[in-house]
Amino acid sequence: MKTEDVDVLIIGAGASGAAFAWSMADTRMRILCLEQGDWMNPSDYPSTRRDWEVRMEREFSANPNIRRRPEDYPINDGGSPISPLNFNGVGGSTILYAAHFPRPHPSDFRVRSLDGVAEDWPLDYAALEPYYALNDRQMGVAGLSGDPAYPPHEPPLPPVPLGLAGETMARGFNALGWHWWPSDIAIATRDYEGRAACVNLGPCKSGCAQGAKSSTDITYWPVARRAGVQLRTRCRVREILVDDKDMATGVVYYDEHGVEQVQRAEVVVLACNGVGTPRLLLNSKSARFPDGLANRSGLVGKNLMLHPWGVVRGAFDAPLDSQLGPMSCCILSQQFYETDRSRGFVRGYNMQVIRGFGPVATARMGVARGDIPWGEGHHEAFARRFGRSITIGICCEDLPEECNSVTLDPKLTDSNGIPAPKITYRLSENSERMLAHGLARGAEVMKAAGAWDVYGEGPVRQTGWHLLGTARMGEDPERSVVNGWGRSHDVKNLFIIDGSVFVTSAGVNPTPTIQAVALYVADAMKQRLANLFD
Amino acid sequence: MSKEANASLAPESALTAVQLASLDAVLNLIVPASADGRMPGAAEVGVPAYLCAEAADALPVLREELDELDRRSNARFARGFAALEQDERKTMVEALRAQAPAFMNRLAMETLACYYQHERVLEGLGLEARPPYPTGYQVVQGDLSLLAPVRAHGKIYRDVP
């Protein structure tokens, strides 16, 4: 079957693809997005059932190797202490993300100039600021203005409740004289743009049945589709086609029936994030690009950054109802975010206060660690922790290293026979020191807040939410894959708009920056339509 | 095997009466009923049916280990495991826990999953036995005046050239 040619073909309907599609819709060009997953039905989300805790670990696991839906591709993560996480569907990983939405600092874009490591970005915080603000409005972001860790900005919605857990940790941070602030969070805390307000279901990371969490299937996509953007689901792209002038001509994909199709396009835009995008480029080999498309720099798949993640857990005497509220979103601390070389490492980390867990997770974690025994004393030990526990996540900035990479697995494939990605990753010495520092400071603030039992661990394997850096941007074609506005150095009508273009990772959840970059690239393209390929 | 296929597999079909009796005894060693009667024992919340539906892949090894437990019990005490006194059961299960830690850990984790989502258990904890959606929960808004010292400290981000 011949498909109708389009002007702009977007691959991936997640955080970046949705924002980009929405922005480009006003050009009235023929825009099509191919997504390998399907639309989600919120009534299927785990929070609609009493067994939500078990379901979120299985068919709604963020790990595709556990979830194993038909639309997922396997990832060989045996060479990494951190497993990459994702979701395939309209909305992409925003379906399962926590919606913790902090921006980076201005210094995050100037790490070479300020700290002498890695590379500066070809753009800066000031250039992206209007796009952060636009994205906050389109997604619906809750927060509190005035945070002294950031240049001024105004979240459009009021913050999520601190709860007793947030208040408890706030007092701990205050006792030490450390920074804390209610996190920016992509959750509608009041009715917003046709979406109902958050009612504190809790397990945001398994999909929001209420529709209060800002996943792009319910934010950008409805508007983009009304504006004429086509979205074709259950379509898995195998490779990008290129002509003898080094111009992309379209893609080969498998449709929902598994039938091979060719889609022609004037412009191809990659929005598959830091593992999916290099995988597709490396799978798009041709005579002119024997090492993978747009890979004359040799950097496609290199410099993978995953944000090594530690957790510090504390148990308190007082009942805190800590199992209630948006599970992973409350307050943050950026006391140790900016570089201070006296700490023994450069760059820094964000401390993300996570609330407690449901009864199943509380019991399982407690029994696994030996805090909650079998048999005698079980109920008493459980009662001392359930609703009385708080976790702090330590999100460490990961610096780029070429040895950390996404390559193609020589044997593993998805259900269409397309080679699967293989992850090779290890923590640098800088990351190890940073993580150890974060775990120690996390324990310190837990004790200051009054915890009677504290323990920490990291890196935690099932925390590879942030997939960054594998097709980075820059002005030098020898040292980067795309230019400062997302265009491939090697293929002038190929753009990348997802987390792969990150030059450095900052120390915060990347989705606001991924989307701000996507909106920035869209505007850059619209301003250059007459000479886009020059 | 798919979950749908397993759903029709009743515990009485998957396990013998002796195996079921032994399993019940093991489950109550993992989570016993509370002394005040508020919390049920794990043998009272339908774990065998849960295992058939959610952990069918573990059934073959479950059968083997339950049979082995009974065999050793008969060899040592001349009675099947389910007929032992509680202290004797505990001794046997602790030995099994040392010999087959992966199996016992899996059984414990599946048991806890079943137990802590059961209506009687949630009510025993003082929680509403319902899904989070659609009602949700009330959460204390919190005291934002706690931010006063943070505001007073002032800017902590670096300026860039």
pLDDT digits (tens, 9 = 90+) for A305-335: 999 999 999 999 999 999 999 998 999 999 9
pLDDT at position B120 over 90 = yes
Q: Residue B12: which pLDDT band, with cuts at 50, 70 and 90?
A: confident
Chain B residues within 8 A of A346 when measuring between CB atoms? none
C-alpha–C-alpha distance, residues A502 and A299, integer Å: 13
Nearest CA in chain B to A202: B132
Indicate if the alpha-carbon torsion angle A440, A441, A444, A450 is positive or negative.
negative
Average pLDDT of the residues in A24-47:
98
Alpha helix (H) ranges present in A284-428? 359-369, 378-385
**Choices 3.40.920.10, 3.20.20.70, 3.80.10.10, 3.50.50.60: CATH for A6-42+66-356+388-531:** 3.50.50.60
Write the DSSP assignment of B95-138 as a string of letters.
HHHHH-HHHHHHHHHHHHHHHTTSHHHHHHTT---S-STTT---
C-alpha–C-alpha distance, residues A12 and A88, integer Å: 9
The answer to whether the CB atoms of B112 and A363 lie below 8 A apart is yes
CB distance from B98 to chain A under 8 Å? no
C-alpha–C-alpha distance, residues B97 and A397, integer Å: 41
State the pLDDT at residue B9: 76
Residue window 2-61, chain B: list those with CB within 8 Å of chain A.
29-32, 34, 39, 54
Q: Residue B124: which pLDDT band, with cuts at 50, 70 and 90?
A: very high
Average pLDDT of the residues in A359-373:
97
Q: Residue B5: which pLDDT band, with cuts at 50, 70 and 90?
A: very low
Q: Residue B6: which pLDDT band, with cuts at 50, 70 and 90?
A: very low
What are the residue boundaries of the structural domains of chain B, listed by start? Answer: 3-129
Indicate if the alpha-carbon torsion angle B142, B148, B153, B159 is positive or negative.
positive
Comparing C-alpha atoms, which of A205, A187, A461 is closest to residue A358? Answer: A205
pLDDT in tens, A408-458: 999 999 999 999 999 999 999 999 999 999 999 999 999 999 999 999 999
The answer to whether the CB atoms of B144 and A162 lie below 8 A apart is yes
Buried b (16+ CB within 10 A) or exposed e, A87-118: bbbbbbbbbbbbbbbbbbbbbbbbbeebbeeb
Between A80-89, A506-515, B9-18, B75-84, the lowest mean confidence (pLDDT) is in B9-18
The answer to whether the CB atoms of B108 and A162 lie below 8 A apart is no
Alpha-carbon distances of B135 from A209, B132, B142, rounded to whole Å: 11, 6, 21
Residue window 126-145, chain B: list those with CB within 8 Å of chain A.
127, 129-144
Contact A463, A117 (CB under 8 A): no
State the pLDDT at residue B122: 98
Residue window 365-404, chain A: list those with CB within 8 Å of chain B.
367-368, 374-376, 378-379, 386
Average pLDDT of the residues in A372-376:
95
Average pLDDT of the residues in A194-214:
97
pLDDT at position A353 over 70 = yes
Alpha helix (H) ranges present in A284-410? 359-369, 378-385
pLDDT at position B1 over 60 = no
Q: Residue A2: which pLDDT band, with cuts at 50, 70 and 90?
A: low
State the pLDDT at residue A3: 79
What are the residue boundaries of the structural domains of chain A, listed by start? Answer: 6-42+66-356+388-531
Average pLDDT of the residues in A145-159:
98
Chain A residues within 8 A of B105 when measuring between CB atoms? 368
Pairing of strands A309-315, A389-396: antiparallel
